Structure 1
Amino acid sequence: MKSKYLLIGFFITLFACSNDTEDTSGTNPDITNPDVTPISEIYFPPIGSDTWETISPSELEWNQENLQILLDYLSEKNTKGFMILHHGKIVVEEYMNDHSPTSIWYWASAGKTLTSTVTGIAQDEGFLAINNKVSDYLGIGWTSAALEKENLITNKHLLSMSSGLDDSLGDDVSPEYLQYIADAGNRWAYHNVYVKMQDVVAAATNESWNSYFSSSLKDKIGMSGSWFDLDNLSVYWSNTRSMARFGLMIYADGKWEDTQIVSEDFLTESTNTSQEINESYGYFWWLNGKSSFHLPQSQLEFPGSLIPNAPSDMYAALGKNDQKIYIVPSKNLVVIRMGESAEGVNFALSSFDNELWEKINAVIN
Structure 2
Amino acid sequence: MKNVKRVLLVLVLVIIVAVVYNYPKLNMISGYAAKNMASNVYIADRDAKDVNAVDNNVPLIKLADSKVDKESKDASSSVFSLMKRTAVYRDGLGAVLVNNDYDPTKFTLQPHRDFTKTGLAFPYGDKKQKDTVFSNIDYTTLQKAIDKGFSNPDVQKTRSTIVIYKDQIIAENYEGGFTADTKILGWSMTKSIVSTLYGILQCNGKLNVNQLAPIPEWQNDDRKNITYNHLLRMQSGLEWDENYTEISDATKMLFLESDMTLVQQNKEAIAKPTEIWNYSSGTSNLLSGLLKKNFNTHQEYLDFPYASLIDKIGMHSMLIEADMDGNYVGSSYGWATTRDWAKFGLLYLHKGNWNGNRIFDADWVDYVAKPTAHSNGTYGAHFWLNAEGRFPDVPKDMYYASGYQGQYVFVIPSKDLVVVRTGLATYPIFDLNGFLGDVVKAVK
TM-score of the two chains, using structure 2 as the length reference: 0.61
Larger Rg: 2
Residue 289 of structure 1: aligned partner: 387
SS at match of 1:74: helix
Aligned-pair CA distance for 1:155: 0.6
Q: Give the 5 Å matches for 1:310-349.
A: 310-342=394-426
Residue 104 of structure 1: aligned partner: 183
Residue 60 of structure 2: aligned partner: none
The answer on whether the counterparts of 2:188 and 2:404 sit within 8 Å (CA) in structure 1 is yes
Change (3 A) 1:106 1:357: same
* Number of residue pairs aligned between Structure 1 and Structure 2: 296
Change (3 A) 1:240 1:54: farther
Aligned-pair CA distance for 1:70: 2.3
The answer on whether the counterparts of 2:401 and 2:410 sit within 8 Å (CA) in structure 1 is yes
Moved over 4 A (4+): none
Aligned-pair CA distance for 1:53: 4.4
Aligned-pair CA distance for 1:332: 0.8
Q: Could you give the per-residue CA deviations for residues 65-107 of structure 1, whole angstroms, max 9, x where no partner exists?
A: x333322322232111211111111111111122111101111
Residue 238 of structure 1: aligned partner: 336
Residue 197 of structure 1: aligned partner: 287
Aligned-pair CA distance for 1:150: 1.8
Matches of 2:123 and 2:394 in 1, distance apart? 30
Aligned-pair CA distance for 1:161: 0.5
Contiguous gaps of at least 5 residues in structure 2: 1-119, 242-247, 254-259
Aligned-pair CA distance for 1:285: 1.5
The answer on whether the counterparts of 1:210 and 1:227 sit within 8 Å (CA) in structure 2 is no
Residue 236 of structure 2: aligned partner: 163
Residue 11 of structure 1: aligned partner: none
Residue 302 of structure 1: aligned partner: none
SS at match of 2:346: helix
Does 1:68 pair with 2:143?
A: yes
Structure possessing the higher relative contact order (Cα contacts under 8 Å, 6 or more residues apart):
1
Residue 14 of structure 1: aligned partner: none
Q: Give the 5 Å matches for 1:1-365.
A: 45=122, 47-56=124-133, 59-64=135-140, 66-75=141-150, 76=153, 77-134=156-213, 136=214, 138-140=215-217, 147-168=220-241, 169-171=248-250, 172=253, 173=260, 174-175=262-263, 178-192=267-281, 193-206=283-296, 208=298, 209-224=301-316, 225-229=318-322, 233-234=329-330, 235-275=333-373, 277-290=375-388, 305-342=389-426, 352-365=431-444
Contiguous gaps of at least 5 residues in structure 1: 1-42, 291-304
Residue 41 of structure 2: aligned partner: none
Matches of 1:247 and 1:53 in 2, distance apart? 21
The answer on whether the counterparts of 2:129 and 2:168 sit within 8 Å (CA) in structure 1 is yes
SS at match of 1:221: coil
Letter in structure 2 aligned against 1:327: V
Letter in structure 1 aligned against 2:211: N
Aligned-pair CA distance for 1:351: 6.1
The answer on whether the counterparts of 1:157 and 1:184 sit within 8 Å (CA) in structure 2 is yes
Letter in structure 1 aligned against 2:315: M
Matches of 2:323 and 2:147 in 1, distance apart? 32
The answer on whether the counterparts of 1:327 and 1:333 sit within 8 Å (CA) in structure 2 is yes
Aligned-pair CA distance for 1:211: 1.1
Q: Equivalent pairs: percent with the same residue?
A: 25
Matches of 1:219 and 1:274 in 2, distance apart? 30
Which has the larger displacement, 71-80 or 320-329?
A: 71-80
